[in-house]
Amino acid sequence: MSAVTDAVPVNPPAHPVVQSVRDSLVIAKRNLIRMSRIPEMVIFGLIQPIMFVVLFSYVFGGSMNIGGTTDPSVYREFLMAGIFAQTVTFATAGAGAGIADDMHKGLIDRFRSLPMARGAVLTGRTLADLVQTALTVFVLAIVALLVGWRTHTSVGEVLAAFALLLLLGYAFTWVGALIGLSVRTPEAATSGGLIWLFPVTFISNAFVDSSRMTPWLQHVADWNPFSATVQACRKLFGNPGVSPSDAWPMVHPVWASLIYSVLIVLIFRTLAVRKYRSAAA
Amino acid sequence: MPGAIYAEGLVKTFGDVKALDGVDLDVPEGTVLGLLGPNGAGKTTTVRCLTTLLRPDRGRAVVAGVDVLKHPNDVRRSIGLSGQFAAVDEYLTGRENLQMVGRLYQMRAKAAKARAAELLEQFDLADAADRPAKTYSGGMRRRLDLAAALVVSPPVMFMDEPTTGLDPRNRQLLWDVIKRLVSGGTTLLLTTQYLEEADHLAHDIAVVDHGRVIARGTSDQLKARTGGERVEVVVHERDDMPAASEVLRGFGKGDTTVEEHMRKLTVPVTGGAKLLAEVIRELDTRGIEIDDIGLRRPTLDDVFLSLTGHVAEAKDASDEQEPGQKAAKEAAK
Ligand SMILES: Nc1ncnc2c1ncn2[C@@H]1O[C@H](COP(=O)(O)OP(=O)(O)O)[C@@H](O)[C@H]1O
Ligand SMILES: [Mg+2]
């Protein structure tokens, strides 16, 4: 086994940023390969939002008052921004469960014993999730068009709305990463990653007109980061039901959505990377 | 000058469990240290401290000439780790796993690819190289895990219970790999629950219990302390015991222990199987009928018994379980 003692060509030490990008891409590729080998996960990730579109629009469709009308087709247009936003946030649970699983299987130990960039394992995972989220949103948009959803603005505005959605999803995967590193089992990460999403997505303007909520709930909904993205999407899509509230995030939803998402990334990335460095499987 | 692996006074506490209680180690370059101890002794915690995965509460460690606590990332360039449980991505193929690890050791893509192919060949995994690791047997996963630890041919290697839970054939295969590795000059710290394994692979053995090194020496030195090999005979007729005792005295290297009620006689010997055959022949010649006879080699239990006066605790099969089950068991404690 002479090869064991042979010197192996290794890159000269790179700039930390270059190394971080390179390592993150290696990990992202690994996670994308995994996803392609577990297609069920991707498919279930698609079925759920499609079911929501169909259920919400046909079950709630006739009884929801949006901007003074209960016309189901108006509710359908109103609903889509909410469903898109909810769908991207569900990527959180996948990221959390994946990272908890890596910890459980000892892979995080292996990665931590390698001379690689510290944040790369988590960044790579969140990037792979972003790709999956984009794919899900794309399929969902097609389904939405089929059930009658339309945009009434320029292509640029529509693309900006999707960019904000993906940014929100990306931000939420960092919350999932932190949850995944904090729990003991992948199962706990899945349920722990989902539970908190229900209040966040329901105490918002996503599915109902928040101006009809009791005042304190409306206040929470207006300042909910999730609502800001939904409001921004409705505005950028030209869909009905834009909240008339005069809370700052509702008046400037595009800025609010951008600022909220960037803040979530900065805060939760810092916390998650710190947790990763001391993670004990 | 400290060796390739050096530790001084490592202490690590988890809640009220003192996992390490002042571990000192010194492994000269190019040698193998066997860290021998029962389940829960602190072997894995020691390895995790030395491989930068865990920060000890107190103590100092130097690996490959670099201070582990001050420059963990420089240490990582010089070490390979094969943890207690095979850490391979089961949805990736063997080849993809090794290429990924190569890239993360900062190898160029082409070099990582070539190295992966070479290792798959060496570890007898070439045929399974392009199948997801999920389809591998336990032994194959272990080999893949070990190959991953060897991607950059690190000068210092750590292996945590590399053969626990493997069948004899796979154990032998892994022993061969480890021996070749060591003959190439790698410094190795290996943990094990089996004296036989430490005996086979290690130059020096450190026995750990309750987070401390309670004895160190070569395997011969340890065995000498435990009385080495013994022949045990159970005779059929109680009346034959004096005659049998006389036979054993002729072959033995010490006093014969007699357990009357069990008709059992034990005597320390040297000479192994060949001597055992002679004992049997001699007993036969004298017409002494025997129920059972055997050569007993010292086990971890014997070493423990002689060092601590108690047998190794908690030496159960839990390490052979999947990490999930182990975690569940620990959570239940
Ligand atoms: N992360 C941890 N949290 C709490 N206790 C731990 C942890 N890791 C190890 N221990 C405890 O420390 C002791 C030593 O464990 P370990 O080093 O795994 O032993 P070994 O590898 O020799 O079986 C055991 O009592 C174990 O339960
Ligand atoms: Mg252990």
pLDDT (0 to 100) of residue A280:
58
pLDDT tens-digit series, residues B70-127: 999 899 999 999 988 889 999 999 999 999 999 999 999 999 999 999 999 999 999 9
Task: Give the residue numbers spanning the domain of B13.
Answer: 5-224
Task: Reply yes or no on whether the pLDDT at A6 is more than 60.
Answer: no
Tell how far the Cα of A176 is from the centroid of ligand 2, in angstroms.
29
Whether residues B20 and B136 fall in one domain: yes
Q: Is residue B328 part of a domain?
A: no
Instruction: Give A107's pLDDT tier (boundaries 50, 70, 90).
Output: very high
Q: What is the mean pLDDT of chain B?
A: 87
Residue with tokens 């984009």, as numbered in its chain: A134
Share of chain A above pLDDT 70, in %: 95
Which ligand lies nearest the alpha carbon of B37?
1
Q: What is the mean pLDDT of residues B125-140?
A: 95
Share of chain A above pLDDT 90, in %: 66
Here the tokens at position A69 are 């009308």
Residue with tokens 């259920």, as numbered in its chain: A55
The closest CB to that of B108, out of A9, A23, A278, belongs to: A9
Task: Reply yes or no on whether the pLDDT at B11 is more than 90.
Answer: yes
- End residue of a domain, out of B224, B245, B280: B224
Whether residues B178 and B275 fall in one domain: no
Task: Reply yes or no on whether the pLDDT at A131 is more than 90.
Answer: yes
Whether residues B12 and B161 fall in one domain: yes
Mutation choice for ligand 1 from B10, B12, B17, CB with most ligand atoms inside 8 A: B17
B75 and B50 Cβ atoms separated by less than 8 Å: no
Cα→Cα distances A195→A176, A201, A261, Å? 11, 11, 20
Share of chain B above pLDDT 90, in %: 55
Task: Reply yes or no on whether the pLDDT at B188 is more than 80.
Answer: yes
ipTM of the complex: 0.89
Whether residues B165 and B28 fall in one domain: yes
Task: Reply yes or no on whether the pLDDT at B173 is more than 80.
Answer: yes
Whether residues B90 and B234 fall in one domain: no
Q: What is the mean pLDDT of chain A?
A: 90
Q: What is the mean pLDDT of residues A33-43?
A: 90
Whether residues B13 and B136 fall in one domain: yes
pLDDT (0 to 100) of residue B313:
54
Whether residues B100 and B138 fall in one domain: yes
What number of other Cβ atoms are within 10 A of residue B128's Cβ?
19
Q: Is residue B313 part of a domain?
A: no
Whether residues B40 and B60 fall in one domain: yes
Task: Reply yes or no on whether the pLDDT at B263 is more than 50.
Answer: yes
Residue with tokens 């050569």, as numbered in its chain: B295
Tell how far the Cα of B167 is from the centroid of ligand 1, in angstroms.
25
Whether residues B175 and B254 fall in one domain: no
In whole angstroms, what is the distance from residue B119 CA to residue B97 CA? Answer: 11
Task: Reply yes or no on whether the pLDDT at A61 is more than 90.
Answer: no
CATH of the domain at B38: 3.40.50.300
Q: What are the sequence ranges of the domains in chain A?
A: 34-280
Residue B184 near chain A (CB below 8 Å): yes
Spell out which residues of chain A touch residue B183, defining contact as CB-CB under 8 Å: 1
Comparing A40 with A160, which gets the higher pLDDT? A160
Which ligand lies nearest the alpha carbon of B84?
2
pLDDT (0 to 100) of residue B46:
97
Instruction: Give B309's pLDDT tier (boundaries 50, 70, 90).
Output: low
Task: Reply yes or no on whether the pLDDT at A11 is more than 70.
Answer: no
Q: Is residue B116 part of a domain?
A: yes
> Which ranges of A147-224 would DSSP assign to H, the alpha helix?
155-182, 186-195, 197-202, 215-223
Give the angle subtended at the CA of B114 by the CAs of B166 and B47, to the nearest 5°: 40
Instruction: Give A5's pLDDT tier (boundaries 50, 70, 90).
Output: very low
pLDDT (0 to 100) of residue B311:
60
Instruction: Give B250's pLDDT tier (boundaries 50, 70, 90).
Output: confident
Q: Which of A174, A206, A167, A201 is nearest to A82 (CA)?
A: A206
pLDDT (0 to 100) of residue A10:
61
Task: Reply yes or no on whether the pLDDT at A3 is more than 60.
Answer: no
State which ligand 1 atom lies nearest to the alpha carbon of B160. 21
Tell how far the Cα of B193 is from the centroid of ligand 1, in angstroms.
15
> Mutate which of A8, A104, A121 to test chain B, going by most B C-beta atoms within 10 A?
A8
Beta bridge partners of B60: B8
Comparing B318 with B114, which gets the higher pLDDT? B114
Instruction: Give B296's pLDDT tier (boundaries 50, 70, 90).
Output: confident
Number of H helices, E strands in chain B: 12, 14
pLDDT tens-digit series, residues A179-215: 999 998 889 998 888 899 999 999 999 998 888 899 9
Q: For chain B, how many structural domains are there in total?
A: 2
Comparing B4 with A280, which gets the higher pLDDT? B4
pLDDT (0 to 100) of residue B327:
40
Instruction: Give A57's pLDDT tier (boundaries 50, 70, 90).
Output: confident
Q: What is the mean pLDDT of residues B138-144?
A: 92
Spell out which residues of chain A touch residue B73, defining contact as CB-CB under 8 Å: 115
Task: Reply yes or no on whether the pLDDT at B323 is more than 50.
Answer: no
Q: What is the mean pLDDT of residues B276-287?
A: 90
Q: Is residue B315 part of a domain?
A: no
Q: What is the mean pLDDT of residues B267-271?
A: 83
pLDDT tens-digit series, residues A214-269: 999 999 999 999 999 999 999 999 999 888 899 999 999 999 999 999 999 999 99
Q: Is B40 in the pocket of ligand 1 (CB under 6 A)?
A: yes
pLDDT (0 to 100) of residue A41:
84
Whether residues B259 and B220 fall in one domain: no
**A105 contacts B148? CB cut-off 8 A:** no
User: Which residues make Cβ contacts (< 8 Å) with residue A134, sequence separation at least 6?
Assistant: A166
The pair phi, psi for residue B41, each rounded to 5°, is -75, -25
Whether residues B125 and B242 fall in one domain: no
Put the strands of the sheet holding B212-217 in their side by side order: B79-82, B156-160, B187-192, B32-36, B204-209, B212-217
The closest CB to that of A4, out of B83, B132, B150, belongs to: B150
User: Which residues make Cβ contacts (< 8 Å) with residue A121, sequence separation at least 6?
Assistant: A27, A99, A102, A108, A111, A276
Q: Is B37 in the pocket of ligand 1 (CB under 6 A)?
A: yes
Q: Is residue B333 part of a domain?
A: no
* pTM score, whole prediction: 0.83
